[in-house]
Amino acid sequence: MKLDNLSTRVSRRMRSESARMRWQWLRYWRPNTQSGRLMAMFEAVLLPVLVLWLGAKLRPDDPLGAHAGFPWAWFGPWLIAVRYGAGYGLFGVGFYAAFWKFSPTLFHSAPAVEFPAEFFLGGMLMTLILGEFGAAFRNRQVLHREVTKDLTARLERTKRRLFVIKEALSTLEQELTDRPMTLRDALLDLRRTFTFQGNRPALAAPAATPGLPTPAPLPDPRAFLQLLSQSCRLVEAGIFVREIGPLGLQWRLAASLGQTLPPLDPGEVLINRILETHQSVHIAQAHLNETDGSNPWVFAAPLRLDEYDEVDALLAVHTMPFMSFEENNLQRLQVLCASYLDFSQLELSVEDVRSAWVQAPISLQQEWAQLSELGQNFKLRSYCAVWSGQGRVSDDALAEFAGLQPVESSTWTLKGRGGKPALIVLLPLLSSGGLANYRRDMASQLVQILSRSNQRPDQAFDLDFLEVSGAPSFLELRRLLSSAAAETKTS
């Protein structure tokens, strides 16, 4: 019965998908943010020509429909203005005016009595209005896409955390005896490796080829391979980094586990699959297991993407025990690779922020750099709230107050003024009105917490706000936490 219901749901979903694709052409009028300039110019020429051709077929004596009941011919420039902007739409207006001027000469027809000024003026004004509407719609669409992309990334991290919690609840004796390390322990070791990475220089990158950009080093690939060997029972594996040299595109072996690794060929089934989908794959999957020929790799996963969303570092596993192909072990391997991918992606944009405050927590540096990039590129502001302790505040009260922060925020407890604890709260994608609401709500929550110990909020905490805007604001955060300590030493 369950299989019948599943088959019915799948068939119904496939029919809805096919119907949606069949009627997708009706969404042509929507503003376009994906096509390039060449495609926009091509459509700006093609659509008015097509409209004039239809007008000539229907009304040979008046192709533009200047004397018709409704100016149907203007739908060509109007659609172009909505999709690509007023500039491309005005090209259609100019094309219609040139057609009106030179059509008697080209087609040897009778010249027009007079130029229809109101007809062209109304069409041009409507083109400008629709072009401004399309531009506003495209800007909002770009902002929504970037916000959705950021929220999707946060959702994926939350899903992986839920998987960790789900596996931690499993206490079967077989897992405890057979598995050398649980997923929770593996993630803790991975986080510890990332923490130590900030206190020592990364592995040196190979020398850059003259005329080409310097390749960025990966964060400690050897330690990551050792962790995978302990937690997922890998025998032979390697981490490959893409490089562009004098001989073209090459994949260099950055770290290896084992001695007999074959060279990486992007044309192989597993490697080609992750280069196209940016998802981890393994040989046990049905669509890969049916391929002809031998495959030297049994598992592959991306470890870093470049600025063009192309894979430039990947993990390729050559040998692992047959019993390691169980579902839980493969999911554990995928979660660890995805965590390493997130960390390496954030490391690409954290260099300037880290130079402003090297001793700051790595997660704070990465979050600050990510929110700064959103603010600089798409004007999406984020703020940092600094709750600096003034009086004696217990650790329990500070932990309770940190737990009351908004769900979308990130918190850190650092040493602040005079060595007293300071709570750092990052508030992503927040407006000025939302900032005022946050201050009011947190002040009321703080009053309730401190009233139990007969303390006033203004005597226990000092609140400062900083806008997240790259390395300068991160340096200002460092000065804010250390200024009072310096003043105490001076006095």
Domain assignments of the chain as residue spans, ordered by start: 28-169, 179-201+218-347, 352-490
Q: What is the pLDDT of residue 417?
A: 75
pLDDT digits (tens, 9 = 90+) for 416-444: 877 888 999 999 989 889 999 999 999 99
Q: What's at 80, amino acid-wise?
A: I
Confidence of residue 253 (pLDDT cuts 50, 70, 90): very high
Is the Cβ–Cβ distance between 283 and 270 less than 8 Å? yes
Q: Which of 61, 63, 135 is nearest to 99 (CA)?
A: 63
Mean pLDDT of 115-129: 84
CB atoms within 10 A of CB 398: 19
Q: Decide which of 3.30.750.24, 3.30.450.40, 3.60.21.10, 3.40.50.10260 is the CATH code for 179-201+218-347.
A: 3.30.450.40
Is the Cβ–Cβ distance between 341 and 311 less than 8 Å? no
32-41, 192-201, 295-304: which has the minimum mean pLDDT? Answer: 192-201
Q: What is the pLDDT of residue 121?
A: 84
CB atoms within 10 A of CB 454: 6
Q: Say which residue, 13 or 410, is predicted with more confidence.
A: 410
Given strand 236-245, what is the order of strands in its sheet?
Answer: 248-257, 236-245, 311-319, 299-305, 281-282
**Average per-residue pLDDT for the chain:** 80
Confidence of residue 491 (pLDDT cuts 50, 70, 90): very low
Mean pLDDT of 104-118: 68
Q: What is the pLDDT of residue 71?
A: 79
CATH 3.30.70.2880 fits 352-490, yes or no: yes
116-125, 171-180, 290-299: which has the minimum mean pLDDT? Answer: 171-180
What is the H or E stretch that residue 465 is in?
strand 461-467
Confidence of residue 488 (pLDDT cuts 50, 70, 90): very low
pLDDT digits (tens, 9 = 90+) for 324-366: 888 888 988 999 999 999 888 888 888 889 889 988 988 899 8
Q: Can you give the length of the chain in residues?
A: 491
